[in-house]
Amino acid sequence: MHIRFKSIMVNVFLSVLSISLVACTGDESDKPTTDTDTVPVVVGKVHKGQELEKISVSGTVSTPKSPTNASFLVSGEVMFVGPREGDFVEKEQVLASIDPTDYQLQLAAVTALTDQARIGYERAEDEFRRMKMLYDSKSLAPNDFQKYKASYDSTKQQLEQAVASEKLSRKRFSDATLCAPASGYISKRLIEPGDTASAGRPVFEIVQMEPLEVNVGVPETDVHLVRVGQEVEITVPALPGKLFKGKVRLINVSADPATRTYMTRIAVANPEHLLRVGMVAEATIHGDRTISMVTLPGDAVVRDPQGATQVYVYYQDQKRVYAKRVEIGAAANTNVEIKRGLAGDELIVLAGQTKLRDGQFVSAQERETGPK
């Protein structure tokens, strides 16, 4: 009897313990949400206003002119090389030089031949003039006069050839020193002292940094909104906080078949030489038409795990927020255009959205939105 009583008590104890464990391990999600689970947020409605039409495109910084190549016109051993990559050079500044000895000796030899030809010519000319006077006075036979004239013509031709050879030799001697063909920045230096320079092979590349251009591709859906002369605002991720002004200079007449965009060149002043060739640039082209635009502060727009843009919409009757995907357009200062996804009368979370999840309870404080 005593043993049976102990068995009954053990079973009762195990049943109570099992019920207790189930109660302790219950699903937390089944608990009702309390006020302590709410997240404080600031909400507001979209701003509706009139803005100048804008087209936002991306591109790269380039030079309006092709880089200028500097090459020796004669061959020889390089004796001196001046500027390096990144240095600024003025037009006619000495860049490099090769050993001029051979060209100097050749010039000296040709100059001596020219002097001899000039002496021969002067003698033949003096004799020709005297014979001409005799011939004109009928004191010299025509055949004899023609001999003196032929000798004079021959020495004159020899002098002209000698002078031409001297000019060529003098130019080759001068070409042993390479000067900058244009002002700009050295982007490539392809020669060093001791190298052998070849005629016509580029040894320096010079690029102009003022003005520059931004080449962008305008989609065919927007190209009708762009015209030459429109003002453009340009930002460069590599230069945060800097804003550059430009104007549309050229719009291509045919689209790129791969991207269906029209190449557009934007002229940009670069007096401080902050922009550099090859930088990625964001351009906002200001249109001529005024359009209705719905905007929100840029911070109100977040991205979902798939990378799509979305906002959190506040439902006042439920005191909850739900994510809604939106399509954004051009930036308007610190605001961003909402092109699709909202009706326009919703309350949107403007602050505190980084702590939210879909269906989150919130305590909302409303504020007005406007252009900034």
Question: Consecutive sets of 10 residues in the chain, 372 residues long: mean pLDDT of each?
Answer: 41 40 39 61 85 84 90 96 94 96 94 94 93 90 92 94 95 96 93 95 92 93 91 94 94 92 95 91 85 83 89 92 88 79 88 88 81 52
Closest to 56 in 3D by CA, of 355, 285, 308: 285
Closest to 337 in 3D by CA, of 309, 358, 315, 357: 309
pLDDT at 370: 59
C-beta separation of 176 from 96 below 8 A: no
Work out the number of other CB atoms within 10 angstroms of the CB of residue 331.
17
Tokens linked to 307? 């990378």
Burial class, 335, CB count within 10 angstroms (exposed 0-12 / middle 13-18 / buried 19+): buried
Closest to 361 in 3D by CA, of 42, 39, 44, 43: 39
Tokens linked to 236? 């460069």
Domain annotation for the chain: domains and CATH numbers? 34-50+293-366 (2.40.420.20), 56-65+209-291 (2.40.30.170), 71-99+176-207 (2.40.50.100), 101-171 (1.10.287)
Letter string b/e over residues 302-324, b meaning 16 or more CB atoms within 10 A of that residue's CB = eeeeeeeebbbbbeeeeebbbbe
Strand ranges (E), 269-319: 280-297, 302-303, 309-315
C-beta separation of 37 from 319 below 8 A: no
Torsion of CA 221, 226, 232, 236, to 10 degrees: 30
